[in-house]
Structure 1
């Protein structure tokens, strides 16, 4: 078993690079974590889906990781680092059987991981992940085109809006309200539009970049959530 030590991580549902970490983030120190050398396909499955982890992998890493909290060494049931020879990611299941939280590593820790798995004789394991990911298994996340050039805050806002549009696809009252507020268009005009085309226009507008029109759309969603929470 390979191990990494003294790793700073920032676990969350979405992964931010080290230079984007914020003071308010829950950054913590891992005293020890097992390092798994996996195939590219295995890496993709663990990072890009919320599918349950293979039993073999879970038994391989069970109770082998420790967090450093003040002066105490606290055991973690399933925490580990995966590397496919190019990319490195820390995983925390939070005592579940799926990869609940993920974190990038500091650049120097990534280099150490790549150096360790680069030693001769290391074999990549697939842990049963030997088929491509079905389209419907991917976690909701921005594509490269949607995320290109954006700050962490802009990416988070865009992801929230896209999640809501996916959740309420086909919901005529919701989509008509959002579109009308965003376009500052009377509801009577909005209702005359084809619902499917209206939804496609909203999603398509979020495809590239982040500007004042995107910010206005985000604020419409935020205002709607505030109204609902106050009712």
Structure 2
């Protein structure tokens, strides 16, 4: 078995989509970066790599047995054993996972570029390990778990705010005030107000979703800010992302 040493990781917990496991250039000062002393490196099929990167389903039992208690982390100069963790690569991309003792990849991280290149170099010329993927259901994307295409090209902040907007839209769809849907669609596209008046509630919501689920713009941001106003949970996320941007800009000056 191949092993890597002294890896810096930035864990993202409970993320089923790889686009939310941020690349090194999007790591932030406030992220909890940790050091892994030793960890197995697995060369796996593309199908298994995508399952690890983009899902939270059960991993092959034989793979978990292969990596059982072979990862060590250093904390306060002490070495701690991790039940099930590994670096996985399909020869093209790399992700690190830790199951927290369960059977699915609960925590995930990317590597810093130098260590990512090393992982790819280490499996060059080797054959991928064959692990049987049992009973995995096809990945389904929805409003709270958008298709990667709808997140392509966005920054970490934009992805966070877009997810917040989708949460607000989902809440709007199931609210006790369906008349609000036409109001927010008009806020999004005032020019269409004459035709919006004749739309049913479902038609208005579908149009609002279809028009906002692609890309990210100043209009998206303005709509998101207005929709979350007065909702403490959503406002906390909104303010948190904007404070992080302010702090980042201050540190750049």
TM-score (norm 1): 0.82
Residues 39 and 126, structure 1, Cα contact 8 Å, conserved in 2: yes
In the TM superposition, 1:212-223 aligns within 5 A as 212-223=218-229
Report deviation, 1:228. Answer: 9.1
**RMSD of aligned residue pairs (Cα, Å):** 3.1
Cα pair distance change 1:126/1:47, threshold 3 Å: farther
Counterpart of 1:149?
Answer: 153
Cα pair distance change 1:218/1:195, threshold 3 Å: same
Cα pair distance change 1:17/1:170, threshold 3 Å: same
Task: Give, in whole Å, the separation in 2 of the partners of 1:102 and 1:11.
Answer: 5
Residues 185 and 208, structure 2, Cα contact 8 Å, conserved in 1: no
Cα pair distance change 1:181/1:199, threshold 3 Å: closer
Cα pair distance change 1:126/1:138, threshold 3 Å: farther
1:108 to 101, 107, 114: 114
1:29 to 2, 22, 35: 35
Counterpart of 2:216?
Answer: 210
User: Structure 1 residues 205-214 or 88-97, which shifts more?
Assistant: 205-214
Residues 181 and 204, structure 2, Cα contact 8 Å, conserved in 1: no
Residues 59 and 104, structure 2, Cα contact 8 Å, conserved in 1: yes
Task: Give, in whole Å, the separation in 2 of the partners of 1:153 and 1:205.
Answer: 20
Post-superposition CA distance 1:51-100 (Å, at most 9, x none): 11121111111111111213111111111110001010001112221111
Task: Give, in whole Å, the separation in 2 of the partners of 1:201 and 1:31.
Answer: 51
In the TM superposition, 1:176-191 aligns within 5 A as 176-177=179-180, 180-181=183-184, 183-184=186-187
Residues 50 and 139, structure 1, Cα contact 8 Å, conserved in 2: no
Counterpart of 1:4?
Answer: 4
User: Structure 1 residues 207-216 or 108-117, which shifts more?
Assistant: 207-216
Report deviation, 1:46. Answer: 1.4
SS at 1:43 equivalent: helix
Report deviation, 1:114. Answer: 0.8
In the TM superposition, 1:80-95 aligns within 5 A as 80-95=86-101
Structure 1 unaligned residues grouped into runs of 5+: none
The alignment status of 1:127 with 2:131, answered yes or no, reads: yes
Post-superposition CA distance 1:147-200 (Å, at most 9, x none): 23321100111123334545x485253664365356459xxx989642332232
Residues 43 and 82, structure 1, Cα contact 8 Å, conserved in 2: yes
Task: Give, in whole Å, the separation in 2 of the partners of 1:128 and 1:164.
Answer: 39
Task: Give, in whole Å, the separation in 2 of the partners of 1:101 and 1:92.
Answer: 5
Residues 185 and 196, structure 2, Cα contact 8 Å, conserved in 1: no
